[in-house]
Amino acid sequence: MLITGASSGMGREAAILLAREGHRVYAAARRMDRMADLAGRGVTAVELDVASSDDNERVVNQVVEGEGRIDVLINNAGFGLYGPVEEVPLGDARYQFEVNLFGVAHLTQLVLPHMRAQGSGRIVNVSSVGGKVFSPFGSWYHATKHALEGWSDCLRLETAPFNIQVVLVEPGLIRTDFGDVAADQLRKYSHGAYRASIAPLLRMRDNPRVMDRGTKAEVLAEVFLEAATADKPRRRYVKGMLGRPALFIRKWLGDGIYEFTLRLAIR
């Protein structure tokens, strides 16, 4: 199986766990230096930028040539671009889609012919609770995850006749460097007209009492394992701090109450 975004966080822990369970795992990421120890854990590390078509083709070919097949693709690579819609350059927004959606799409297009030929396969797309809800200044990130949700649901119907399953994993707040990257992006835009609104978000991000309560990446690795290997996987797996409460509030109490809850949380 091939898992992207495996140099840290959920992807790394999932790659290690899957290999420990006896699976042949190719762990892909841009930062090869952070995967140097994976060989000793039974994982094959490969360099991959999912926004590069050449990289995607090279890595899929490497897996198929090395194993003779590809049974599982876990699309985990992604990042969060945060900032006001008014101020985030559209070039940055397009790159957010290149990584979080079109990179997923291209890798999926590359593996599907092999899965159809072998008569089975599974695509696990790592979305987010943010694919169902929303938060301040996360417009471009949430847009990619909302798109990934709908894209994956359509794909599930298309590939079912070929015995290819499509599964979504929707993490909540997880202890990874995702939040640090998102906060760095937000700080770039904290000096203009939206400064007063951004400041509480940054204070919350810098508060260890809040962020240390996030779910450990190892917990999500267990979810990845089930999503990738269960005989009858769910369509969606929700796991992580605040994930289910956020979904419940928006679905059953409505957008007004959900937005009121957000304002209380970040004031």
- pLDDT per residue of the chain (267 residues) written in tens, 0 to 9: 999 999 999 999 999 999 999 999 999 999 999 999 999 999 999 999 999 999 999 999 999 999 999 999 999 999 999 999 999 999 999 999 999 999 999 999 999 999 999 999 999 999 999 999 999 999 999 999 999 999 999 999 999 999 999 999 999 999 887 877 888 888 887 788 999 999 888 888 777 666 677 899 999 999 999 999 999 999 999 999 999 999 999 999 999 999 999 988 887
259: domain range? Answer: 2-266
Q: How many independent structural domains does the chain possess?
A: 1
Q: What is the Cα–Cα distance from 35 to 143, expressed in whole angstroms?
A: 30
Q: What is the Cα–Cα distance from 161 to 146, expressed in whole angstroms?
A: 25
CA distances 58 to 46, 47, 52, 65, 200, Å, are 10, 10, 10, 10, 44
Q: Is 7 helix (H, G, I), strand (E, B) or coil?
A: coil
Instruction: Look at the pTM and tell me if it is higher than 0.85.
Output: yes
Q: For residue 163, how many other CB atoms are within 10 A of its CB?
A: 13
Q: What is the Cα–Cα distance from 47 to 143, expressed in whole angstroms?
A: 27
For this structure, is 141 an active site residue? yes
| DSSP E strand stretches across 76-222 | 121-126, 164-171, 174-175, 215-216
CATH of the domain at 17: 3.40.50.720
Q: Which of 141, 189, 194, 237 is catalytic?
A: 141
Phi, psi of 75 (to 5 degrees): -85, 90
